[in-house]
């Protein structure tokens, strides 16, 4: 980390301006060597200097150079940003000059990695930077920003603080076992905070899983028997005739995809072949595909024909959907109703008619509610939005759950302590307080160059 790194920080292409960023002890002298204008080594921090980038006597570009001195910079090191005229050739030439004059080409994410290693941000915040760059909707941007601001890290730190308090109580018990009723007292003291923490963690896990879907888009499977109107539903939601619709059962064989955005939630929908037993070779492959998409989906729109009674096949699929994210879409509401809706969880049922598009708006509203999008809009949420952190949080919650049950069963506290300590470590890994070098390298290499 003692060397000075440089990279092009803007997207490489034709634009009005591109920025080449340099960070490290030698950042200012290196840029000064290829700069004609005022002496940059004497520039004040957080100022901009006008001048030219030169190669020997040749003027390469007219630039503005921002000087930011340590420690109040993105990396906490001296940082120089050269604002050059956009264009691939000029930008690359300036980078080359920097490399010739002593800078090293930065690895992907190395600026952010330095910010982390120098203690300016923690891992959760660094991941927020990455999420922010990649956010596709306003809501995803908001989640990323909250993570970047350190709000999420503070929630993890609060959990760790509660654990420290619990551990302190356990230490008392281990140090003074001669007290009478110590077991009861320990239970009384430890169980309620453990219980509260477990509840808060489970809530955070659930909301975070939702947050991941908000970030990446929801893989939505449109599933049902042939001819119930799955392709018609896809078309109605897309407001375009994308999938073929006919009155022939078994029209859709291959999958048809389309995306919509509902209040910042991206639904990546997949229309599938109607599920039934069939002798047709092509249709059979389609049905197999439908079943595998049904398994993998984050969310299922299960379409039934309101004009017909439910079949055994449909009932089986419905049973398998229990505990998952799904809605029962009862189509053909213009026809007589022969489907008994009483058996269904009423919260999950939406009646529609894809011909007139009646019920499509209420269906969209229901989806927005299901993914708590209204809450996200109003509550300024902070969730973990990447798989690494969520998996660590889940492991921490499992460890605490084990501790909780062990304590309830009067297991000696020093054994319980092991699980609680492991939860503390796992939470530390989320924010990067206990980390392994290999993990850090892998994590930051996912960033784009120049970040």
Ligand X SMILES: Nc1nc2c(ncn2[C@@H]2O[C@H](COP(=O)(O)OP(=O)(O)OP(=O)(O)O)[C@@H](O)[C@H]2O)c(=O)[nH]1
Task: State the residues that interact with Mg ion by CB under 5 A.
Answer: 230-231, 251-252
Which of 106, 228, 237, 350 binds ligand X (CB under 6 A)? It is 228
Is residue 270 within 8 Å of residue 255, measured between CB atoms? yes
Sheet with strand 256-262: strands edge to edge: 256-262, 265-271, 218-224, 299-305, 326-331, 349-351
227 binding partner (options ligand X, Mg ion, none; Cβ < 5 to 8 Å by kind):
ligand X
Alpha helix segments (H runs only) across 239-356? 281-296, 312-321
Should residue 286 be labelled a site residue for ligand X when binding is judged by CB under 6 A? no
Among residue numbers 237 through 276, which ones bind ligand X (CB under 6 A)? Answer: 245-247, 249-252, 273-274
Residue among 247 and 343 whose Cβ is closer to ligand X? 247
332 binding partner (options ligand X, Mg ion, none; Cβ < 5 to 8 Å by kind):
ligand X
331 binding partner (options Mg ion, ligand X, none; Cβ < 5 to 8 Å by kind):
ligand X
228 binding partner (options Mg ion, ligand X, none; Cβ < 5 to 8 Å by kind):
ligand X
Q: How far apart are CA 26 and CA 32, in angstroms?
A: 10
Residue among 231 and 354 whose Cβ is closer to Mg ion? 231
From the list 86-94, 115-123, 228-236, 396-404, the region that binds ligand X by CB under 6 A is 228-236
249 binding partner (options Mg ion, ligand X, none; Cβ < 5 to 8 Å by kind):
ligand X
Should residue 290 be labelled a site residue for ligand X when binding is judged by CB under 6 A? no
| Three-class DSSP category at 39 | coil
Task: Report the sign of the C-alpha dihedral through residues 133, 63, 23, 14, in that order.
Answer: positive
Look up tokens 């302190």; give the residue. Answer: 168
Fill in the per-residue mask, 326 to 355: x = in contact with ligand X (CB under 6 A), - = not in contact: -----xx-xx-----------------xxx
Tokens of 432: 């990067």
Q: Which of 28, 169, 20 is nearest to 96 (CA)?
A: 20
Minimum CB separation of residue 248 from ligand X in Å reads: 7
Is residue 430 within 8 Å of residue 124, measured between CB atoms? yes
Should residue 231 be labelled a site residue for ligand X when binding is judged by CB under 6 A? yes
Among residue numbers 145 through 184, which ones bind ligand X (CB under 6 A)? Answer: none
Backbone region of residue 263 per phi and psi (left: phi > 0; alpha: psi in -120 to 50; beta: other values): left
Look up tokens 């004059």; give the residue. Answer: 101
Contacts with ligand X: how many residues (CB under 6 A)?
24
């Amino acid at each position: 980390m003692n060397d000075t790194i440089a990279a092009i920080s803007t997207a490489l292409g034709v634009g009005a301006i591109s920025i080449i960023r340099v960070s490290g002890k030698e950042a200012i002298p290196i840029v000064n060597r290829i700069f004609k204008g005022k002496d940059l080594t004497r520039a004040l921090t957080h100022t901009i200097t006008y001048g030219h980038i030169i190669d020997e006597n040749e003027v390469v570009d007219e630039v503005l150079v921002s000087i930011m001195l340590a420690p109040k910079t993105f990396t906490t090191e001296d940082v120089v940003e050269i604002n050059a005229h956009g264009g691939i050739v000029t930008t690359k030439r300036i980078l080359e000059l920097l490399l010739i004059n002593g800078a090293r080409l930065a690895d992907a994410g190395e600026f952010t990695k330095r910010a982390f290693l120098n203690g300016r941000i923690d891992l959760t915040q660094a991941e927020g930077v990455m999420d922010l760059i990649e956010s596709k909707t306003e809501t995803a941007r908001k989640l990323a920003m909250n993570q970047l601001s350190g709000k999420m890290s503070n929630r993890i730190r609060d959990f760790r603080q509660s654990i420290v308090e619990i551990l302190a109580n356990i230490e008392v018990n281990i140090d003074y076992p001669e007290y009478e009723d110590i077991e009861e007292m320990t239970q009384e003291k430890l169980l309620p905070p453990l219980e509260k923490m477990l509840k808060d963690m489970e809530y955070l896990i659930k909301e975070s899983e939702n947050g991941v879907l908000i970030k990446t888009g929801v893989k939505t499977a449109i599933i049902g028997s042939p001819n119930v109107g799955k392709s018609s539903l896809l078309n109605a939601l897309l407001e375009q005739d994308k999938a073929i619709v006919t009155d022939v059962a078994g029209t859709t064989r291959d999958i048809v995809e389309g995306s919509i955005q509902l209040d910042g939630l991206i639904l990546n929908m997949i229309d599938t072949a109607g599920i039934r037993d069939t002798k047709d070779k092509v249709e059979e492959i389609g049905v197999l595909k439908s079943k595998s998409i049904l398994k993998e989906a984050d969310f299922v729109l299960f379409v039934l024909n309101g004009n017909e009674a439910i079949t055994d096949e449909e009932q089986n699929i419905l049973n398998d959907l229990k505990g998952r994210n799904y809605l029962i879409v009862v189509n053909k509401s213009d026809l007589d109703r022969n489907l008994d809706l009483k058996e269904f969880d009423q919260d999950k049922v939406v009646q529609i008619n894809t011909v007139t598009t009646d019920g499509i708006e209420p269906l969209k509203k229901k989806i927005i509610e299901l993914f708590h999008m209204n809450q996200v809009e109003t509550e300024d949420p902070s969730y973990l939005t990447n798989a690494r952190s969520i998996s660590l949080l889940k492991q921490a919650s499992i460890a605490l759950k084990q501790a909780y049950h062990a304590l309830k069963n009067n297991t000696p506290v020093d054994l319980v302590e092991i699980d609680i300590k492991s939860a503390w470590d796992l939470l530390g890994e989320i924010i990067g307080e206990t980390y392994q070098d290999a993990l850090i390298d892998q994590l930051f290499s996912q960033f784009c160059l120049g970040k």
